[in-house]
Each structure stands twice: as structure tokens, then as C-alpha cells.
């Protein structure tokens, strides 16, 4: 059984600011913001939502089929996936574009400011989903706007149940589009900030969103996750991380575990418990794809 993972592949330039954004930004001066942060720590990492989710899922033993686009500079990313045994079948190279690029700055409280250049991702809609006997699930994570719209329709037409995970792409859509995504999806997952935006734009409460799908999960960071199934909600407790190094990719690690669990036919609460476990491992490592699972890890 395999899962199509629609979303971005990107190169992440991760910077650490040894201070707090709140100490450098004056709330009453946001209308004329001009601020500079000294970031002595910089590292280039493989990232993007589809890449990070596929990495997490592969570590757990799932079959990930990332569907994405890279630019003329993306050969290293494809080579990395092949070495890891992750399929590149649905990854297209756009020779006239660069691979998507994220500039991520993290402060001492793990708050983040990100600038993102889409590059080749803006042509992700050129890769289409069709029915295939080994493809049982899918996820729509942040991607080019047209790709997210098209892939939702294609999943539905192919009869492939999918997770709608709008993430940072949520602001691109109005209430009508978001309600349509939810009606097509089988599961929805967002973080707590995105949950507020999703409810505001759709006009639906969490319980009303949950009523449209089989499961609705809201990740709560260090507080765990809230999962709606069968008309009721459950808070799945967090796993204490051994240390906090870099939050980049934690949500994607969580979603890789979610897909792995759904492939096994688990309830969403059990998937969320595994997601909390994997996210706690990831946050102790820099970048979105540098962690490994400890020997003897019990997947439960």
C-alpha cells in the first residue's frame, strides 16, 4: 500500500537568532517595521512539506510517493531520495525554474519567521493524480495554489481518500474553496493557529468541520493534539522531547506518522499519539530530515 504526498520540495536555509523576536519588534510600530536580526548560525537543509512527510513516513516503514516539482538545481534532492529508497516517480524537474527556497529564522523561544520563494512549485499542477491499484491514500500539503485545487479534485475522481493539510497555504483560499476542500477530503489536519483561521474563513466550528470528515486533528505543539472522531474530541497528550533544537519540520514529521497510521487502518487518535512521538524525536535535531528513530522504538 502506498500514499501520494502532494506538496513542496524545497531547500531550507535555517538561521538561528540568539534572542527573542518580541524583544526586537515593537508592536505599536508594525505599520513601519524596519528590523534586522544578527544570525550567526546558518545551515542549508533538504526540506519542503512533501519531502519532510515522505522522510518521516519512510522511517516508519510506509511507502511514500511524493508528488512535487523541483528546478534545474534539484538533482541532489532526487539523488538523496533514491539513496533513501523514496520513489521519485511523481517528481518532475522544471528546467527553467529553481527549486523552492525557504529562509527560516528561529528565535530562542522556537518562534519562526519564514520567507518562501516557490520557484518550480508554482508548476506542481502539471503533475496529475490517477487511480492505481497500489495507491490507497493521499495527502494535500502546502503546494502551488492550482496544484492544491487540482489534486483535491483528482483524488476525489480517482476514489483515493486523502488528508487535507493546508498549512501555510491556507491563506491562499477563501471560505468557499476551503469548504469545498473539506467536503472532498476524508481527514483534515491543521495546527492550532490554522484551526482558528479555518473556522473563521469557513464559518464552521471545529465540531462542524469534524462532522464533514472521518477525522479532524488539530496539533497543539507542546500540548499534544486535539482529535475529533465520531462526533467527540479527545486531547492526545504530548511526548516530552529530550531537548529542543529546531522546530522546523515537526508538523511534517507528525503528518508522516499520521499517514503511516492511516495506512494501517488505525483510529486517528492512535495516529496522533505516534505523531506526537515522532515530532518529539524530530525537534531534538536540526532541519526537517536529519533525525533517525531510536533502536527499540515501539510504534504504538
Quick check: is 252 catalytic?
A: yes
Q: What crossing angle do the helices spanning 268-282 and 49-60 adopt, rounded to 10°?
A: 100
Chain center to CA of 256: 8
Residues written for the chain: 300
Instruction: In whole angstroms, give the CA distance from residue 241 to residue 63.
Output: 26
Question: Is 125 strand, coil or helix?
Answer: helix
Backbone angles phi, psi at 162, to 5 degrees: -140, 160
* 107, 150, 165, 252: the active-site residue: 252
Instruction: In whole angstroms, give the CA distance from residue 260 to residue 262.
Output: 6
Check if the beta carbon of residue 207 is closer than 8 Å to that of residue 184.
Answer: no
Q: Which of 166, 163, 150 is nearest to 201 (CA)?
A: 166
Chain center to CA of 120: 18
Distances (CA, A) of 255 to 2, 191, 200, 259: 15, 11, 23, 6
Q: Which of 89, 90, 146 is nearest to 123 (CA)?
A: 146
Check if the beta carbon of residue 140 is closer than 8 Å to that of residue 165.
Answer: yes
Q: Which of 113, 110, 111, 114 is nearest to 102 (CA)?
A: 114
Q: Which of 77, 91, 75 is nearest to 143 (CA)?
A: 91
C-alpha cell recorded at residue 42? 546558518
**Positions marked active-site:** 252
Amino acid at each position: 500500500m502506498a500514499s501520494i504526498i502532494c506538496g513542496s520540495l524545497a531547500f531550507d536555509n535555517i538561521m538561528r537568532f540568539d534572542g527573542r523576536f518580541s524583544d526586537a519588534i515593537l508592536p505599536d510600530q508594525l505599520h513601519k517595521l524596519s528590523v534586522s536580526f544578527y544570525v550567526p548560525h546558518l545551515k542549508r537543509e533538504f526540506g519542503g512539506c512533501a519531502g519532510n512527510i515522505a522522510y518521516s513516513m519512510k522511517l516508519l516503514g510506509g511507502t511514500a510517493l511524493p508528488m512535487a516539482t523541483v528546478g534545474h538545481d534539484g538533482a541532489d534532492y532526487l539523488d538523496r531520495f533514491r539513496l533513501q529508497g523514496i520513489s521519485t516517480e511523481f517528481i518532475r524537474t522544471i528546467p527553467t525554474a529553481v527549486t523552492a527556497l525557504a529562509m527560516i529564522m528561529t528565535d530562542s523561544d522556537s518562534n519562526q519567521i519564514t520567507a518562501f520563494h516557490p520557484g518550480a512549485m508554482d508548476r506542481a499542477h502539471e503533475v496529475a493524480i490517477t487511480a492505481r491499484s497500489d495507491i490507497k491514500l493521499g495527502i494535500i500539503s502546502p503546494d502551488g495554489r492550482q496544484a492544491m485545487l487540482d489534486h483535491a479534485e483528482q483524488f476525489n475522481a480517482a476514489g483515493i481518500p486523502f488528508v487535507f493539510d493546508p498549512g501555510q497555504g491556507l491563506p491562499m483560499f477563501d471560505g468557499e474553496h476551503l469548504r469545498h476542500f473539506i467536503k472532498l477530503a476524508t481527514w483534515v489536519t491543521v495546527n492550532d493557529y490554522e484551526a482558528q483561521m479555518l473556522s473563521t474563513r469557513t464559518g464552521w466550528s471545529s465540531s462542524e468541520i469534524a462532522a464533514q470528515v472521518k477525522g479532524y486533528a488539530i496539533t497543539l505543539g507542546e500540548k499534544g493534539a486535539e482529535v475529533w472522531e465520531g462526533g467527540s474530541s479527545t486531547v492526545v497528550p504530548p511526548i516530552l522531547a529530550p531537548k529542543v533544537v529546531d522546530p522546523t519540520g515537526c508538523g511534517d514529521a507528525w503528518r508522516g506518522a499520521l499517514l503511516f497510521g492511516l495506512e494501517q487502518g488505525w483510529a486517528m487518535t492512535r495516529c496522533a499519539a505516534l505523531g506526537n512521538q515522532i515530532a518529539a524525536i524530530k525537534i531534538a535535531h536540526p532541519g526537517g530530515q536529519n533525525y533517525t528513530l531510536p533502536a527499540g522504538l515501539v510504534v504504538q
